Structure 1
Amino acid sequence: MRLLHTSDWHLGRSLHRVSMLDAQSAFLDHLVDAARAHEVDAVLVAGDVYDRAVPPLAAVELFDRTLHRLAAAGVPTVMISGNHDSARRLGVAAGLIERAGIHLRTGPDGCAVPVVLADTYGDVALYGVPYLEPALVKDAFGVERTGHEAVVAAAMDRIRADLAGRPPGTRSVVLAHAFVVGGTASDSERDITVGGVAAVPSAVFDGVDYAALGHLHGCQTITDRVRYSGSPLAYSFSEAAHRKSMWLVDLGADGAVTAERIDCPVPRPLARLTGRIDDLLSDPAHEPYEDAFVEATLTDPVRPAEPMARLTKRFPHTLSLVFAPERPPGDDDGVSYARRLRGRDRRQIAEDFVAHVRGAGPDAAERAVLSAAFDEVRTADAEAAG
């Protein structure tokens, strides 16, 4: 059986206030085309369909169009909710939608209710373990400990029990949305830590042939049978080096797994550039990034004037500007703030702050502005006290 494993669409999300909806639409076109071209038996979507619980209307319309296209192509789709989704909203009309071959699993009660598909070698049971908020579902699973490992393990116990009652040779696939030990996070995922512990061990998924994971945005292999597809698009500059893809998984007659990556379209690459502004603007080595989304980290000792306006002349899609000024040897940046303030009046403290942030103290005109501002404040304080 051939499966196309994807996750973390985050429909409706933006990148530094730039809408990603067109790029998401292009990805979903690619997904439907890939499902047809590779003649997949099912599409697996391992959570975080939307970026937030109440998504914008345009994101809902895109989701709706995609479901219609998958259904029209006759490609069964199994989908779970993630921690960004509203499980109840995503699961509305799941029973009706299932008639079209779109199978939603959004609550704890459905974890052990598989979608059963068949190929020439027999049945494949596909189970969905959505994101399970421990405090909300521990009673449903009868677990005492409030933690991700406990509730995911309880869900898997139910799945293994259901699987044990099926005909011998039934192969199994689990979709799950969780942070599994061994996975590498990025800046894009929302923290799901409970009691200081966010991760569950991969051994929780023992006993099934393939675990299709969602939540982490980097495509990665935890074990040959436990994999993250990652997000189809980069949603933060921490993902600039990611190769965005989906897993094309073939499940053999004996449950053996082979998998290959299918690259996702890249609407605009991401680049992280670091250096002094004059170097960034002149270095020919940066030519490949002139059409990229750029995060620029400026190391100038003194903050340059109008840096964003200057950078966007060469890199028109600069989205993020970070300042990390080079500090000369012997710089007192490590000295405690309290010690640096000791013995200084308010005007001197303000001048020190300007020097700390910009790398150079205020000039004569700026000192005059600061002095006038403090004189005005002092006068107002005196009048209020009088």
Structure 2
Amino acid sequence: MRILHTSDWHLGRSFHREGLLGHQGAFVDHLLEVVAAERVDVVVVSGDVYDRALPHVDAVALADEAFARLAASRARVVVSSGNHDSARRLGFGSRLMDAAGVFVRTDASSVGTPVVLADEHGDVAFHAIPYLDPSALLEPWALGRRSHDTALTEAMRRVRADLDARPATTRSVVLAHAFVAGATPSESERDISVGGVSRVATSVFDGIDYTALGHLHGPHVLADGLRYSGSPLAYSFSEADQAKGSWLVELGASGLRSATWIDAPVPRRLARITGTLTDLLADPTLAVHEDAWVQAVLTDDRRPARAMEQLRRRFPHTLVLQFPTPAAQVGAPARPADGTSDHAIALDFVQHVRGSRATDAESALLREAIEACCHDPDQDVLVGAAAGPTPAPGGAG
């Protein structure tokens, strides 16, 4: 049996306000091409189909298209929900989709009940474990301790109880959405810690032929049969050096036979560049980044004027501009003395952040902005009109 392991699609996500739906659609095209070219029997999606619990209608339409196309392909599909998904919304219509060969599992009550598929060697039990909230399961599952490790340990107890009741020849695949010890997170994953306890021991999944992990956005091999596929696209600059793709897993008669990495298309590379503005604009070796999404860190002693505008002339897809704080400026500016004007405070702040005084033109612009915010010429008139005429002394109030 040939299985394609993917996860963390995050349909509907943007990248520093750049829409990614078109790139995510291109990944779906790629997925269908791999299914056909590699004769994939089962596609597994280990959570975070959507980027938010209330996905945009365009993201829902893309998910609908992806599942419909996969249902019409040679492959069947097993999907579990992640911490970004709404389990109820993603799981809507799951009983109807089963008939089409798309098995969506989002309810904790389904844990321990597998999707059973077969090949020439017999049955393969796919246990799709949705993201488990330890707080929600603390009482229903009598966990005793509120942690992800405890929740998944109980889930795997139920999985093993099911497998123990099946013939010894039955092979096992588990889908789990969790932070498993030994892997390295990226900046773009949502923290799922509960009381500081988020990591799950690798031993929780011992004895399973293949565990398809989701949640972390970089690919990881924690053991031959314990892997993260990562996200199909980069969702933060911390992922600039990560490979993006999926695992093509082959099960033989006795379990895992092989796992081969399949690269996903890269719609636009990510680049992180550091230096003075003059150096970044002149360095010929940086020409390779001119079509990339760029995160630039400027090391100039003083912040250059219109730095983003100048960078985008050479690197038109610059998305993030950062300035490391000089050691002399670490900490908050001195507390202003009583009676210091708002304009003077603003000028002190500019000097503290930039390392140089505001120009005369900037000072005038700040004064104009402060006066526009702090003085409403209509306010007194409106207040007076609302209060009505002042009553004469001794008159009726």
TM-score, normalised to structure 1, is 0.91
Matched, 1:9 2:9: yes
Offset of residue 297 of structure 1? 1.1
Match of 1:24 in 2: 24
**Where do 1:262-301 residues align within 5 Å?**
262-301=262-301
Alpha-carbon separation, structure 2, partners of 1:115 and 1:228: 21
**Where do 1:151-300 residues align within 5 Å?**
151-300=151-300
Residue-by-residue CA offset, 1:79-121 (whole Å, 9 max, x unaligned)? 0000000000111111110001001110111111111111121
3-state SS of 1:266 partner: coil
Match of 1:84 in 2: 84
Offset of residue 363 of structure 1? 3.8
Offset of residue 250 of structure 1? 1.1
Residue-by-residue CA offset, 1:260-315 (whole Å, 9 max, x unaligned)? 10000000111111111111111111101111111111111111111111111111
Task: Select which of 340, 348, 351 maps to 1:346.
Answer: 340
Deviates more, 1:277-286 or 1:350-359: 350-359
Residue-by-residue CA offset, 1:242-273 (whole Å, 9 max, x unaligned)? 11010011122111342110000000111111
TM-score, normalised to structure 2, is 0.89
Match of 1:58 in 2: 58
Aligned partners of 2:12 and 2:21 also within 8 Å: yes
3-state SS of 2:154 partner: helix
Match of 1:360 in 2: 356
Aligned partners of 2:249 and 2:256 also within 8 Å: no
Shift in CA distance, 53/342, structure 1 to aligned 2, threshold 3 Å: closer
Residue-by-residue CA offset, 1:62-91 (whole Å, 9 max, x unaligned)? 111111111111311000000000000111
Offset of residue 362 of structure 1? 2.6
Match of 1:93 in 2: 93
Alpha-carbon separation, structure 2, partners of 1:194 and 1:7: 22
1:281 is matched by which residue type in structure 2?
L
1:3 is matched by which residue type in structure 2?
I
3-state SS of 2:126 partner: strand
2:340 is matched by which residue type in structure 1?
R
Aligned partners of 1:298 and 1:324 also within 8 Å: yes
Shift in CA distance, 377/76, structure 1 to aligned 2, threshold 3 Å: closer
Alpha-carbon separation, structure 1, partners of 2:321 and 2:235: 16
Aligned partners of 1:108 and 1:140 also within 8 Å: no
1:362 is matched by which residue type in structure 2?
A
Q: Which runs of 5+ in 1 are unaligned?
A: none
Alpha-carbon separation, structure 1, partners of 2:74 and 2:370: 72
CA RMSD of aligned residues (A): 2.3
Residue-by-residue CA offset, 1:145-180 (whole Å, 9 max, x unaligned)? 111111111010000000000011211010000111
Residue-by-residue CA offset, 1:209-229 (whole Å, 9 max, x unaligned)? 111000000011111111000
Identity level (%): 53
Aligned partners of 1:341 and 1:349 also within 8 Å: no
Shift in CA distance, 130/378, structure 1 to aligned 2, threshold 3 Å: closer
Match of 1:333 in 2: 329
Alpha-carbon separation, structure 2, partners of 1:131 and 1:376: 50
Offset of residue 353 of structure 1? 2.1
1:303 is matched by which residue type in structure 2?
R
Offset of residue 377 of structure 1? 10
3-state SS of 2:70 partner: helix
**Where do 1:125-140 residues align within 5 Å?**
125-140=125-140
1:353 is matched by which residue type in structure 2?
F
1:13 is matched by which residue type in structure 2?
R
3-state SS of 1:313 partner: helix
Alpha-carbon separation, structure 1, partners of 2:85 and 2:138: 19
3-state SS of 1:65 partner: helix
1:358 is matched by which residue type in structure 2?
R
Offset of residue 337 of structure 1? 3.8
Alpha-carbon separation, structure 2, partners of 1:208 and 1:41: 19
Alpha-carbon separation, structure 1, partners of 2:329 and 2:103: 57
Aligned partners of 2:336 and 2:345 also within 8 Å: no
Q: Which runs of 5+ in 2 are unaligned?
A: 381-397
Aligned partners of 1:141 and 1:155 also within 8 Å: no
Which structure has the bigger radius of gyration? Answer: 2
Match of 1:75 in 2: 75
